[in-house]
Amino acid sequence: MATVKTMHIGLDDTDSPRKGCTTYIAALLVEKLRKLGAEFIDYPNLIRLNPNVPWKTRGNGALCLRIKYDEKLEGEIKETVISAVEEYADLEFKGTDPGVVFFERKRIPREVKLFSKNAITGIVKLKDALKLLKKFKAEAIGFKRCRGIIGGLAAVGETLRGDHTYEILTYRIPENYGSKRKVDEESIIKMDEATAPYTFNNFDLEKRRVLITPRGPDPILFGIRGETPEIVKKAFQMVKPLEPVERWVIFRTNQGTDAHLKKVKNLKEIKPYNPVIAKGTVAANPRIILRRHVIFSIEDKSARVDCAAYEPTGSLRKAARRLMVGDRVEVYGGVRAPSKSNPLTINLEKIRVLKLAQKIVYQNPKCPNCGKRLKSMGKDKGFRCEKCGSRYPNLDKIEVKIKRELKKGLYITSPRSQRHLTKPFRRYGLEKRKASVRLIEGWHFP
């Protein structure tokens, strides 16, 4: 009798800015492990971790493969995974420190889930990962400085029970790595129209720019994000690649869910590198600095922080520029540590304008005699009319309420500058409360 076991395989930090992609290793392993006889119990999970970790420059994505298998296959499965990492990770690159985690349990313990939450919303330490691995008798293989073990375990622990999305990723043949990606633009625009709002971040209408193709030397040809496995597959079938596709896989992911953002009760709680949602009142009018960045300050009873909207964040930046002292806002974004020249700063991904302050200007009154706008005779000295010569020592300036150019509501960075985790407009109202995972027919090729 065969004994069926469950294993969660976490992978992270195999790529470098010059080569590779951990999702590609996962895609290869889907083919290899299924050939061996392993059965997938979920789509490969692509878990984006805190994008504001200072030593992580790329998308900060970790992977988890969740499988059932005959106990006899265990050795072969592990060997297959390790040799794929050895073969495809950019091990010569300084700063690429791959990690693999084999977690052989059916259920993921609460502590490991909590570790993942912390890796997505904050900073976690290798030491803490190693402690958990030991406690739950999980196996981990670290290369070089082993940092990848952190992401590997974090991917294992994020089971995506709440809100989640899908992405179908397609890969190029190695001969084409590094060259310009060839995908028919018209077909992408048509696909976007046909599948909206159930796919997102396909095409930037404002700048007429394709968003589904990455720019680097990595093996990805394009990726389409959406709400269900069916819709991303349908969208994929509508897009015309103009170069060969080596393979494709549907991933389940926390992309587009705002999973990195954590609400703070007061501004004093904001810590560097921990992405936040915070409320405050605008305390200093927006100012424009270097290359048109917009900076403003917010405060509450506990503290005051700066908020920055950078080019090219489009409509968000425009909204930020129109804020004024007294406006009540909720801000969303990553937190930059204070430096010599700058205080603690929230790099904005979104602003929600909750309440607009009344904008008032004071004007000289009009002449009661002839209607011409009066001239001031100096502070507290009243007014005189240049047209008819009348003098009015007892008149005061009048209050005029000015219509604000800004409306209440939510402003989000434009799709081209959104983080992988940023929830785009299209997803509002489509959030999932529960996961019911079923693998569709044909969720990967080959």
Residues that bind Zn ion (CB under 5 A): 367, 369-370, 372, 385, 387-388
Q: Identify which of residues 319 and 385 has a Cβ nearer to Zn ion in the complex.
A: 385
Residue 159 tokens, joined: 């089971």
Q: Least Å distance between CB 396 and Zn ion?
A: 17
Read off the tokens for 218.
């990595």
CA separation, residue 171 to residues 20, 181, 241 (Å): 11, 11, 11
User: Which residue do the tokens 């917010």 mark?
Assistant: 298
Q: How far is the CB of 373 from Zn ion (least distance, A)?
A: 9
Q: What is the C-alpha to C-alpha distance for residues 182 and 176, in angstroms, rounded to an integer?
A: 10
Nearer to Zn ion, 266 or 369 (CB): 369
Of 119 and 367, CB closest to Zn ion: 367
Distance CA 365, CA 400 (A): 11
When the beta carbons of 178 and 389 are compared against Zn ion, the nearer one is 389
Report whether 94 contacts 3 (CB < 8 A).
no
CB of residue 389 to Zn ion, shortest distance in Å: 7
Of 298 and 367, CB closest to Zn ion: 367
CA-closest candidate to residue 138, choices 146, 149, 147 = 149
At its nearest, how many Å lie between Zn ion and the CB of residue 372?
5
Q: Which amino acid is at 53?
A: V
Structure tokens at 103: 């977690």
Nearer residue to Zn ion within complex by CB, 250 or 385:
385
Q: Beta strand pairing status for 245-253 and 165-172?
A: antiparallel
Least separation in angstroms between CB 354 and Zn ion:
44
What is the spatial distance between Cα 397 and Cα 366, in angstroms, rounded to a whole number? 10
- Output the smallest distance, CB 417 to Zn ion, in A: 55
Is the peptide bond prior to 446 cis by the omega test (within 30 degrees of 0)?
yes
